[in-house]
Structure 1
Amino acid sequence: MFKLVTLALAYLAFASAQTGYTDWFDSTGTVVPTPYPTPGGTNVDRECGGDLSNLWLDVVVVVDNSKGMTNEGITEIAANIVTVFGNGTKIGNQYSDPRSTRLGIVTYNKQATIVADLNLLQSIDDLYQTIFSVLNTVSNTDDSFLAKGIGAAESVLQNGRANGVRSNYKRLVVVYASAYKGEGENDPIPVSDRLKSSGVILSTVAFDQDGDESLLAGLAVIASPNYAFTSKDLNLVGELQGVALQSEFSSKYKPPNCFIPANCFCPNLWTQYKANFDDEYSYKYGVCIRAATISSSWTAAKFACQNLAKNGFLATEYDGQKHNFLFRVAQNNTAFTAPYIYHIGLSYVNGGWNWQQPAGYPLKPMSGYSTWNPSYPKSFSSNIGVLEQQFSSDLTVGWQNINAYSVAEYYMCEVASCDTEKYCS
């Protein structure tokens, strides 16, 4: 009964994901729409990189080749795979640029076969030749045990990481399935949960010929949230590329606002900026935030952020969404206590209020958004730094300009995310 309820709930979640819009629940249980990105005047926060030619991942595609997939279906799946990963992506690891993608291939029916480990394919030509030579006819069995295929993918990923090889690369498994079967040792949920808990992103594509709701619901359970698709999706290529990176979609299709892009992430100890701090699946930006909890002056904090990460800087607040996110970062850090106070990257320089940027880049003038506390800003003569200060008993903070050399507080740092535009070793 529990599994049936779980599958039913998963199907509802899957159906919601197909609309490209996701709801989340606040602390009272009220359904609240996940917000879309908001502009900040002429200043906007960095988006995740979207250059497929610089995709750097370890990927395993898992394809059901039982009779249920059909010869026509498996051929169409082959074409989909090479379209998703063949759009300029550097396949293999024999490149001077470390931004490349290794791609393994697994087929399964009642057993699994590892067609290619993560080191076999070393070019786009290898990808095309292998995919179309292997995925052209189905097997002679009706059995289709998803757990076998996912288990083989787990082995491919583990073996590909021997001796710490590419341990800084994110991992993605894409499953194409025509059936959802399995109890006991053939139950795919334990192995899929194990993969996801280890940081692997798992996406599924249902080869859906007749609207099999149990297939759709089952695959929604094993997939990472919002990553269960169907072969009938009009923009399946764009959806799968969006799993890998938060890419631009054709204006004909509404982009999902729920991606956790595999190739857009933050280093350890940094938090990725997203549209809603409390919704892990809200829109992600190519921005990472870190709260520094040893008090420093504003000027010292500026230099500290530059040293905490290459091209780091005191954090910006171009709009209310970013302002609220930084406050939630502070609230969720036990080092902070009320009243909440922390330096941000705004200062009075060159005759105006300007936002910090990476060292060597011009500052950005404040534009379109401000949230000064009452009676601020004060005289600029020495009070040129800006911090966030909880002004009242209400859990809100606002800007106050302070002496940039003498007022010591915690501070927020910012740096670009690791993505196709920025490789992180």
Structure 2
Amino acid sequence: MWLDVVIIIDNCKIASTNLVYETILSLFDKNLQIGTGYADPRSTRVGFITYNYNATDVADFYKLQSYDDLKSQIQRLKMTPLTTTTVSRMDTALYAAMNMINSTAGFRDNYKKVVIVFTNVHGTYKSNPPKDVSKSLQMKGIPVITVNTGSSSDTQSWLKNIASTNMAFAIYDGNVTQEIQKAMTDINCYCNSGWIQYTWPWNVNQKAYGTCVYAPNVQSNREGAKQYCHQNYHNAYLVNELDQQKRTFNFAVLNSMSSSPVNAFYNGLINLNNVWFWDQPDQKPLQPLDPNSGAPPARAACVADMKYSDGTTAWTPVSCVNNFHFLCEKVACDTDNYCEYA
């Protein structure tokens, strides 16, 4: 995992911190690289903020440089008594998280940021409600995870309005560590700027896959399309379609980028000695066409996805010199696949 994580903890007098620090420690494997300066760039920085009527930066992104540092910081926080005030202002903590993240702008910009809030207190807000501050973070591409440290369903509903979609959890549901870890893993799976992550349904982050596509604003013959993808983008190739769902997604992406309907585009199917394969990155073997992916074209030729007047689509043999739209594809950045650029 390689992220920048801001952990926010409510420490007002009426805050419940039972299991909070144990949960935080359980999120990070002892073999995880904490901090910076490692030969393997896949490291995670962790910052801590506490809040009551205002927020306090306990540890910025530069303070904790090892797992032992992280463990010691969590232990110190656990041993620190709650404050004497009953005032709880999450908005101050979310603003502090934004400032902590902004303070390192220009460094590790390719690392996804995430904010995790632990509280069981609603708080009272005449201005700057946490929902609005959270929305500002999310608009900057920073997901917000909330963890209800109490048992109130009202608090859970309130926190759900603050959290990013499907990222409001409860500490007593028995599975919170795994839920937060999955959320962080999902956040760590992303596409470089300009690329679109394969999601289904299209344009709804209900289910995201570890695949990215790019739609150049050009048309080309088949060989030109292949060379465009391979030469311009590291480990890119002409788009694959392992099922009808992916084909529908590919058409949707192209039509979202074009001012006029796109009814045909080159995909990565190629025929070698009467065997069909999918294009792959340079230095990697071609992937054989799975019969379950769809009926192969009737004859060996270049292949385009065609949408017909009745709305059906098919892999259609075409002349290789025809100019069509096309999509490039590559594997998403994720916990295993480090990406140097945002």
TM interval, shorter chain, is over 0.9
Cα deviation code 1:371-423 (max 9, x no counterpart)? 45xxx83443xx2x1101112242x421101233x121111110011112222
Residue 386 of structure 1: aligned partner: 303
Could you tell me whether the CA contact under 8 Å between 1:105 and 1:117 is conserved in 2? Answer: yes
Alignment of 1:101-250 (within 5 A): 101-136=44-79, 137-161=81-105, 164-185=106-127, 187-209=129-151, 212-245=152-185
Shift of residue 190 of structure 1?
2.3
Q: In structure 2, what is the equivalent of residue 270 of structure 1?
A: 195
- CA distance in structure 2 between the partners assigned to 1:166 and 1:418 by the alignment: 14
Contact 1:389/1:398, CA 8 A, preserved across alignment: yes
Which runs of 5 or more structure 1 residues have no equivalent in the other structure?
A: 1-54, 246-260
1:399 is the counterpart of 2:322? no
Q: Does 1:66 align with 2:66?
A: no
Distance 1:299 1:186 in 2: 55
Q: For residue 139 of structure 1, what is the amino acid of its counterpart?
A: T
What TM-score results when the alignment is normalised by the length of structure 1?
Answer: 0.76
Counterpart amino acid of 2:91? A
CA distance in 1, matches of 2:144, 2:200: 23
Task: After TM superposition, give the deviation of residue 166 of structure 1 in Å.
Answer: 1.1
Instruction: Please give the secondary structure, in 2, of the residue aligned with 1:279.
Output: coil
Q: Deviations over 1:258-298 (max 9, x none)?
A: xxx21110011111012211322x21111001122311111
Residue 228 of structure 1 and its aligned partner are, at CA, apart by 0.4
Matched to 2:212, the amino acid is C
Counterpart residue type for residue 188 of structure 1: P
**Aligned mates of 2:278, 2:192 — CA distance in 1:** 23
Report 1:357-368 matches (<5 A): 357-368=280-291
Aligned partner of 1:150: which letter?
L
Aligned 8 A contact 1:320 1:369 in 2: no
Write out per-residue CA displacement over residues 154-185 of structure 1, whole angstroms, 9 at most, x where no aligned residue.
12111122xx1111211100000120112223
1:299-310, aligned counterparts within 5 Å? 299-310=223-234
Shift of 1:95: 0.9
Instruction: Give the secondary-structure state (helix, strand or coil) at the position aligned to 1:398.
Output: strand
Instruction: Tell whether the 8 Å contact from 2:297 to 2:303 is kept in structure 1 after alignment.
Output: no
Deviations 1:10-31 (A, max 9, x none): xxxxxxxxxxxxxxxxxxxxxx
Deviations 1:112-164 (A, max 9, x none): 11100011000000000011112233222222111122121112111122xx1
Which structure 2 residue ranges, 5 or more long, are not aligned?
A: none
Query: Deviation at 1:105?
Result: 0.1
Determine if contact 1:272/1:287 at 8 Å carries over to the other structure. Answer: yes
Q: What does 1:61-100 align with in structure 2 at a 5 Å threshold?
A: 61-70=7-16, 73-74=17-18, 76-100=19-43
1:343 matched to which residue of 2? 266
Identity of aligned residues (%): 33
Range moving further from structure 2, 84-93 or 345-354? 84-93
CA–CA distance in structure 2, aligned partners of residues 422 and 302 of structure 1:
23
Counterpart residue identity of residue 199, structure 1? G
CA distance in 2, matches of 1:215, 1:407: 60
The residue identity in structure 2 corresponding to 1:320 is Q
CA-based RMSD: 1.7
Q: State the SS of the aligned residue for 1:217.
A: helix
Higher relative contact order (CA 8 A, sep 6+): 1
Are the aligned partners of 1:293 and 1:335 in contact in 2 as well (CA < 8 Å)?
no
